[in-house]
Amino acid sequence: MARSKTSNAWLQEHVNDHYVHQAQKDGYRARAAYKLLEINEKDKLIKPGMWVADLGAAPGSWCQVARRLMGDNGRVFALDILDMDPIPGVEFVQGDFREEDVLARYLELLGGRQVDLAICDMAPNISGNAVTDQARSMYLCELALDFCREQLKPGGHFLVKVFQGSGFTEYLDAMREEFASVVTRKPKASRDRSSEIYLLGKGKKA
């Protein structure tokens, strides 16, 4: 089957992508690693000894970054609907974050303890319908914020990928209710044409 012009363009961009090559060289599973590395460089989110929740973790590049920056101390708890190859020091639950039983299994890993940092790079399967995709994306973001309301320590931080569009302003307002400050980040590794932006909630209110 012949590739469409769009997928050919994506493939060409991917093959020539500096961050793709860098990820292969540095041993990261995906170019997304550099988004977290750049944000962390600026905001100093990840520290040794932390408990980190990685929501939407597969293929695992953010888990790799967290483990490398934390050293042997601390723990990373990963969740994704897709399977993920094991990473030393990372505990993983496979399942749909929208389902209660999956969340229950994930919370079992935490054993009643709250996390210091939640990071969320989740995105829905793209249907091609912009309105539907945006709604699905915002729903996942809302679930991640709900998770933080319960499972993130007071003073903890929350980094989440959001697509600008319908529901973005309301979501930003909801985050501002929960955190002392909310800032936007658009790392260099984020493709220019993408509407994705990262919101960082700093200092969860008690």
Please write the tens of the pLDDT for every residue from 156-192.
Answer: 999 999 999 999 999 999 999 999 999 999 999 988 7
> What residue spans define the domains of the chain?
30-204
Q: Please provide residue 82's backbone torsions phi and psi, each rounded to the nearest 5 degrees.
A: -90, 155
204 - beta bridge partners? Answer: 179
Please tell me the CATH code under which domain 30-204 is placed.
Answer: 3.40.50.150
Q: Residue ranges for the binding site?
A: 60, 62, 80, 96, 121
Long-range contacts of 186-191 (CB under 8 A, 24+ apart): 187/34, 187/35, 187/38, 187/39, 188/34, 188/38, 189/19, 189/31, 189/32, 189/34, 189/35, 189/38, 190/35
Q: Helix or strand or coil: residue 176?
A: helix
For the entire predicted model, the pTM comes to 0.90
Query: Catalytic site residues?
Result: 161
pLDDT digits (tens, 9 = 90+) for 13-50: 555 688 898 999 999 999 999 999 999 999 999 999 99
Q: Residue ranges for the binding site for S-adenosyl-L-methionine?
A: 60, 62, 80, 96, 121
